[in-house]
Structure 1
Amino acid sequence: MANTRKGVTQVESTTRKAFKYRLYPTKAQGRALDTTLLLCQRLYNGCLEERRGAYKKAGKSVSVYDQMKALPEVKDGVPEYKGVNAQVLQNVVRRVDRAFQGFFSRVKAGKTPGYPRFKPRDRYDSFTYPQPSQNSVSGDGKHVYLPKIGNVRIKLHRPFAGKLKTLAVKREGREWYVVLSCEVPRAEPLPETSSGVGIDVGTTWFYVTSDGEFCKNHRFFQASSKKLRVAQRALSRKPKGRSNRRRKAKERVAKLYRKTARQRLQLHHEEAKKLVSQHGLICHEDLNVKGMAQGKLGKQIHDVGWGQFFQILSSKAEEAGRRVLAVDPRFTSQRCRVCGHTEKGNRASQANFRCLSCGHSENADVNAAKNILAQGLRFVAQRTSLEDACHEKPRPLGLG
């Protein structure tokens, strides 16, 4: 978000913000949306097949511009595409190009490349207007204009602001949503504060702070597990195929998963906002969440969603001018914050910490959170100047 020229860093005055709203199309508009999405999915797979075939047969690469030039021929050959906005079709071609650019960059970086794959109907769920009109949303906020589809009723539960840059239509189950990506002025940083906090995340509590605050782990997935189990069993009994009964059973399962994900996302936003508004420095453990989720506690770790929470926390901190530090997690739960003695036996139980050297006794999670904060403060003290808020990962420190 910053441009560097001649050694001077210039912070951009604007940023992008997305606003998501529910759509309520009529039956005719719903059919038009389904048709548009189906044609975009077929075009995506067709462009992908063209690129793969050209390279396999002739060792030739097809560029994004070559495929865009061929779109008029596609419309002539398949008249149904004339009912889809031209810019929407161009965006589909660009999606294919971005998939290949990501593939090449991963190959160059030595990562697992993951060659672009064909998209089945169930996994292609959105299309985008890259240059929408600034008047796409009606003045009364009740309709949004989608070219080639019409004025669709919208639930504008909160106002959007800024210059409209892109408009994406997304299908979630049988529900339709519109995502408005707007260019808005960068928010003013929050007033400076010297308050710092360390947070120790877990599965018993969502997090525990160095100030002694305990945030409840709501276990959204576990709370809905009974309904999910019933819905998934009902789905497994349906014969495989494209029957309406199987489709409805599949939608019920997906709807339960979406509700759980939304509940978790709302909690993460609320807690991140609270931490950022109260503290200028927030320290947490630099956890390998993906690796930890493959162990015995994988289901609980997926349920609590640390990775998403850390990402949201970092984003809100950057916007507010706060600082987030991800510190080395080793021995934070075994080290005494008073004398620094580190031993596995210090952790008397899941909730209790008692130092075998000095006898200091405290809640184990609070002790760990204070160690995390102390480690972050040591790192900050070593820096000659404070930079803008960022998700930093200081080098591992010693046991002391």
Structure 2
Amino acid sequence: MQHPEPWQSPVEEVTPIESTTLKAFRYRLYPTKAQTAALESTLLLCQRLYNGMLEERRGAYRKAGKSLTAYDQMKSLPEVKAALPEYAGVNAQVLQDVAKRLDKSFKGFFRRVRTGQTAGYPRFRGRDRYDSLTYPQPSQNSVSGDGKHVYLPKIGNVRLRLHRPFAGKLKTLAVKWEGQEWYAVLTCEVPKAEPLPETGSQVGIDVGTTWFYVTSAGEFCENHRFFQRSSKKLRVAQRTLARKPNKRSNRRRKARERVARLYRKTARQRLQLHHEEAEKLITNHDLICHENLNVKGMTQGNLGGQIHDVGWGQFFRLLSSKAAEAGRRVVTVDPRFTSQRCRVCGHTERGNRVTQANFRCMSCGHTENADVNAAQNILSLGQAFVAQRISTEIACPEKPRPHGLG
């Protein structure tokens, strides 16, 4: 390495900024009976191959102390096809992806062991726990020009519903089975979206079970309680399932599918609400502040069912991902005493919150909706955190902190 002369300025190495990102597009498939049989057979063979490769890894380490890699197991695939002719009807890249999927599970296991987390050794997969197959190098012309079919090697042209166009370079094509429905997931490499123009607006949100969330500006988002609304139909379907003890009967299978269909509908309704509300917040505000809640721990209490129904964790994840894509900022703050502190004088006391909906400061007499007061406190904490981080970046320009999520 050549060192610069004293009169020369050192050349600073600039890390290139990636201009592309991966985006997944999900579409419903409508295979024929023959194609459905082929997809089911392919999934079954992949599941058996996964379990066989897992047993091979366990046996190699137990008997010889040898750790097999994905490459080692992919080299043996021609021997598998020679010994088991049914595997000749499965695309070679799909079989290779099974080995990569197992290798990813082992890498995750060892990573968790090193970091002291709950490890979770890779397990054998039953038929219900292996529900997808992946083409890692699909053709760029996999989707037909009219957008009505997608070509799956060894399966054929399968009809799909292209409810929205996809864009970018196709990187992987996955086929997923959910209940009795098939879906195609197209992962594409697309240019990174330009940040949204600044609005000059900042907001704090206080989530709850009475209202989905309340903003510091006094906006109330309704909690639709999707699971509670479907509980009657679900209760009837589950009782019908419980009256069919024969696990091999077609009637029990249909009853189980009916229960699963109701759960899927509820989850999709909740997901759509979260997408819509997160998009609205990201579009209208530059800074969004919310509490750093231990959602998993809160679900263990008496309100666990209602918290599961509202789905705070999923909403926060969507909010963060959309903010990163749009160039917005999401800050989490300490949730302690945000509902008991007066936003006017700062007095904190349990008695300030008269009821679930009403707030009255015992010191200055300020009255307001309790959730709006909490949202105002959350916004103040978030603004203070951002101001402190900006001042630190200005004071230490040689080690700037990333401008991302708080």
The question of 1:390 aligning with 2:396 is answered: no
Assess if the C-alpha contact under 8 Å between 1:314 and 1:390 holds in 2.
no
Alignment partners' CA distance in 2, 1:289 and 1:9: 37
Counterpart of 1:160? Answer: 166
Secondary structure of the structure 1 residue equivalent to 2:345: coil
Counterpart of 1:147? Answer: 153
**Equivalent residue letter for 2:106:** F
Assess if the C-alpha contact under 8 Å between 1:128 and 1:167 holds in 2.
yes
Counterpart of 1:99? Answer: 105
**What's the RMSD between the two structures over aligned residues?**
1.4
Equivalent in 36, 41, 50 of residue 44 of structure 1 = 50
**Equivalent residue letter for 1:248:** K
State how many pairs are aligned: 388
**Equivalent residue letter for 1:356:** M
- How far residue 234 of structure 1 moved from its aligned partner, in angstroms, is 1.2
- How far residue 59 of structure 1 moved from its aligned partner, in angstroms, is 1.9
Closer, same or farther: CA 389–298 of 1 in aligned 2, 3 Å? farther
Equivalent in 253, 258, 261 of residue 247 of structure 1 = 253
Return the index of the structure with the highest Cα Rg: 2
Equivalent in 119, 122, 125 of residue 131 of structure 2 = 125
The question of 1:177 aligning with 2:183 is answered: yes
Alignment partners' CA distance in 2, 1:271 and 1:365: 18
Counterpart of 1:398? Answer: none
After TM superposition, the score normalised by the length of structure 1 is 0.95
- How far residue 58 of structure 1 moved from its aligned partner, in angstroms, is 2.2
Structure 2: runs of 5 or more not aligned: 1-10, 395-400
Counterpart of 1:262? Answer: 268
Counterpart of 2:33? Answer: 27
Q: Deviations over 1:34-70 (max 9, x none)?
A: 0011111111111111111222222221111110001
Counterpart of 2:4? Answer: none
Aligned identity (percent) is 78
The question of 1:85 aligning with 2:91 is answered: yes
Assess if the C-alpha contact under 8 Å between 1:318 and 1:389 holds in 2.
no
Assess if the C-alpha contact under 8 Å between 1:317 and 1:389 holds in 2.
no
Q: Deviations over 1:97-127 (max 9, x none)?
A: 0110000000000011011111110111100
Counterpart of 1:236? Answer: 242
Alignment partners' CA distance in 2, 1:264 and 1:388: 32
User: Equivalent residues in 2 for 1:69-80 (5 A)?
Assistant: 69-80=75-86
- The range that moved more, 287-296 or 127-136, is 287-296
- How far residue 6 of structure 1 moved from its aligned partner, in angstroms, is 5.9
- How far residue 390 of structure 1 moved from its aligned partner, in angstroms, is 3.0
Alignment partners' CA distance in 2, 1:280 and 1:176: 38
Secondary structure of the structure 2 residue equivalent to 1:391: coil
Alignment partners' CA distance in 2, 1:222 and 1:53: 48
User: Equivalent residues in 2 for 1:1-400 (5 A)?
Assistant: 8-384=14-390, 385=393, 390-392=404-406
**Equivalent residue letter for 1:83:** G
- How far residue 239 of structure 1 moved from its aligned partner, in angstroms, is 1.8
Secondary structure of the structure 1 residue equivalent to 2:237: helix
Assess if the C-alpha contact under 8 Å between 1:321 and 1:388 holds in 2.
no
- How far residue 8 of structure 1 moved from its aligned partner, in angstroms, is 3.9
Alignment partners' CA distance in 2, 1:57 and 1:239: 42
After TM superposition, the score normalised by the length of structure 2 is 0.93
